[in-house]
Structure 1
Amino acid sequence: MKKVWQILLVGLLALGLALTASGCGGEKKSAQGTGEKKPIVVKFSHVVAESTPKGQAALKFKELLESKSNGQFKVEVYPSSQLYGDKEELEALRANNVQLIAPSATKLVGFNPAFQLVDMPFLFASDQAAYKFYDGEYGQKLLRSLESQGMLGLAWWPNGSKHFTNSKRPLKRPEDFKGLKFRTQSGGVLDEQFKALGAGSQTIAFGEVYVALQNKTVDGQENTFNNIDTQKYAEVQKYMTVSGHGRIDYVVLTNTTFWNSLTDEQKKLFTECMKEATDYERQLADELNQKSFENLKNSGKLEIYTLTDADRQAFIEAMKPVYDKYTDKIGKEYIEAARNTK
Structure 2
Amino acid sequence: MTKPNTNIKHMRSLSILIVFAAVLTSCGGGSTEESNMTSDSTNAMTAERNVAVTSLQLAPVDFNHYFTVQGLVETDQNALIYPEVPAKIISIGINEGDNVSKGQTLLTFDSRVISNQIDELKLRLTLAETIYKKQENLWSQEIGSEIQYLQAKNNYESLEQNLEALESQRAFYTVKAPFSGIVDEITPKVGEMANPAMPLLRLINLSSVYIKSDVTERYLSKIKAGDHVVVTFPSVGVVKESKIERIGNYINPANRTFKIKLSMKNDDLSLKPNLLAELKIRDYYSDSTAVIPTALLQMTPTGDEFVYAVVDNKAQKIMIKTGMTFEGMAEVVDGLSGTELLIDRGSRSVKDGDNLSIQ
TM above 0.5, yes or no, is no
TM-score of the two chains, using structure 2 as the length reference: 0.21
Answer 1 or 2: which has greater helix percent. 1
TM-score of the two chains, using structure 1 as the length reference: 0.22
Answer 1 or 2: which has greater strand percent. 2
